[in-house]
Amino acid sequence: MAIPQTEKHFDAAAYLVWEEAQIERHEYVAGEVFATVGVRQSHNVATLNLASVLRQALRGGPCRVFVEAVKARVEATDCFFYPDVLVTCDPRDRLTPDYVSHPLLIAEVLSESTAAFDRGGKFAAYRTLDSLQDYVLIDLAARRIEVFRRDADNHWVLYEYGAGENVELASLALQLPLDEILEDTEEEAGPQDSKAAPR
């Protein structure tokens, strides 16, 4: 999700108290909080598709799947984000009902307004999480899914998946059909989308 404008200045504890009383969601980056913005229908469908497949696959085990409204705490960079999907299998995360600090997997659905931050500053923050093994970027415009996977040498390696392929999530020992994750996310051009400026 985008974080387009600065709203307040807090420490982490004050942010958690303040955020609990807000109607809108805000992400927190080193003392500043930023309002999140709404998403397109396709973004929400992709988020739900991935979360549903993960929930079904992980049911009955120690892992929990969260969607959009649960914060990820990145202590090393003093941040709280709202990932589109996150998975934690760490029992310590059951002790902090307001956020997750030890995610195994985080997924973000890219949009024009968030792609640069999701690939840049946000990923840089997420990489400081020792628990994180897979960072998944869902690119609806390109009909592609990118998985950044931490290897044994603590390097992040990119794996790209396209139509008809299975997306490997090594951290969870899962292979998920890309077409299932992207199901029903195609968008038809509406009245506003079709008003292209003449060239």
Instruction: Say whether pLDDT at 10 is over 90.
Output: no
**Could you tell me the pTM of the whole model?**
0.89
Q: Residue 109's pLDDT is what?
A: 96
In the predicted structure, residue 169 carries a pLDDT above the cut 80: yes
Map out the domains of the chain as residue ranges: 39-181
Q: Is the dihedral of CA 54, 60, 66, 72 positive or negative?
A: negative
Residue 189 — pLDDT band, cuts 50, 70, 90? low
Query: How does pLDDT run across 27-66, given as a tens digit for each residue?
Result: 999 999 888 877 889 999 999 999 999 999 999 999 999 9
Cα 105 from Cα 135, distance rounded (Å): 6
pLDDT at 192: 55
At residue 114 the predicted structure's pLDDT band, cuts being 50, 70 and 90, is confident
Q: How many other β-carbons are positioned within 10 Å of the β-carbon of residue 175?
A: 12
Q: Which fold has domain 39-181?
A: tt1808, chain A (3.90.1570)
> pLDDT value at position 190?
59
pLDDT of residue 1: 43
Using a 10 angstrom Cβ sphere, with 0-12 exposed, 13-18 middle and 19 or more buried, the burial of residue 69 is exposed
